[in-house]
Structure 1
């Protein structure tokens, strides 16, 4: 009987089988009624054996019907209890996040979801999309234009949200995007940033340089070397603050052009702390799951030694090479496979005393002697930053001093790992990506 009862239990618990279940109960009760009629007739004709048999049949059908009704009611009660437990667990999780946020000091303005839904015209104008959500343009009730990031990835959004709010609420710097507010309501997680009208750096240095588009004015198609150098200095200062001037060392862990935003005057600010990781001052390295973007990942991500602030230095070096060359760190459209990987190409050019050959072709004819000196210096700094050996990479405060000319820049040592490989390094392979690239496009 155990097998049939278990089968009956599963069958009666199925929502789709509800109608069949009711039909079965009605049939059993109908048979019982029919048997009862026959039973009455049996007694009147003195056919007691048959009547007793019918009594047993009636009682059996009634008991089975009662059992099935009770079973159905039990399943309904259990289903309601499961829903209640799930809702209670979800509410407890949301309450935990809310309580966590209450423990943080200096939090920015907390908005309601309705306020941000109204500010973004029901999330109608998307500026970009990243690994943890989309970014929308919005206008607050006081007329202030903002960028609203709505976290969307299930199973990750809450943790990323709490990490980002906790981290950004502690940092204030001219070269870091300012977090104006946030929203935690139900399952919704949103961040409200200052609006950077220039969009992200990648759309300026990697765009199609053959013609102007409607969204980018022709006069801004090519960033001058001075603008590029200033952007490099801005980001170096922002990273110096995160690494060396905060109460805890903060590792950004995803330095790339998509996370560098520009204002109308092309002042640069570092954005997107969704992957950031804090370190105590006493810590030298931390072990964490791989995160970041291929092409900007430091080699130490691929061993078990842990990472430190020098992982950000590596990413910065890659961005600096891209600012000089106007091309991506990995570009397989190049006719010569030896030029697919920008760092390998850069090391070879420096070895041959031809660093200026790396410069973006669109800058040719616009450079003076001082610009050429800065470009050679910047290439050397970038190559120091992307050294395979972590200890050879400079701190970001040292990079700032190099860029400002406070200290001299020596020729970087040759990277044996890059020079000995004929294929792309593992850190540049696209199928290991952890976070989607996010490009912010500002409509004109």
Structure 2
């Protein structure tokens, strides 16, 4: 009894073993070493992964494989402005070119400009810049105050990007053909390692997406036709405007009388069924080109002469800046190609948004052109699925009801969307043929 009674007392009163300070120090040191080793392994694994990624990119570059990125691409841009009457639009253009730099591109921007003398003297030649008299122009040219503001706006924060800006003053005696001077800018620098050359009017919003899409599509085209035929073609663009007379201000194209051009795909060898072209007199307001194209177009027949300005009186600037001569069979005879499956990346915003009002019968919503293109794609391949992953599962835009309060109204029918997803993101025949402009006409008649 005594032993059984005293046993718990001895257990409770037994001396507790405590860790000595040296032991604790050793344990902490081991833990520290383990953590240090773990972090070093993670760090070197990350570095190794980065090195592998960089090595893969370098191998791709060394092999000539195109990488669809703007980073470290070298881009030469020439924009022609006449006076300052459209400077508000041009500011948006400049913002887009700053965005190119922030995406890692190395941009050299040349602004070619001219204007009439606001105080002409007797005997001075008559200024041919019609529609740009001093009364309509905010400033004669770029004031130092405006240049000072642009110095702040046209800098680049991205460590890989560069943005160099020059303003070139040209005689107003060129008239509207002042746009031709972009050819000096291009060909004087043709061997300076530029990946891309861009010329545009000052009211065309060229986004980084447009630039990357052109380079990517040109690379795809080169793989299809080979380098010997690449100068016969150029990836084209379509200008759109917002239809300001409507409450929804939808995007529309207006410059052509669209017939069956979308369905009449280009049938040239190697690119059958992949591209279409806009109706004749292709006016883009801008164009892009690679070095190999520019070199070939210098001597291209029948009368391209793309490397030098040619004075032709009564000559409209759209022939050059809009790339109309480029696609004209009497001049450069280059075939414009618009990809059936990615045209949305090649729309250029003509920012005045007013020309469509002059040609209301030619207005076509960009959504209608999209439907027509989807119809042609399905005609070429009835089982076509654009918006699916490698396993055939829909990977496009997701839409779902996310209202957390079940007592509130939910007037949403997702039946059409769910069916669309089940088809891999392709429209039905009925959906493709429900034209937007027909609906609007009926609404306006009522």
TM-score after normalising by structure 2: 0.30
Q: Which has the larger radius of gyration?
A: 1
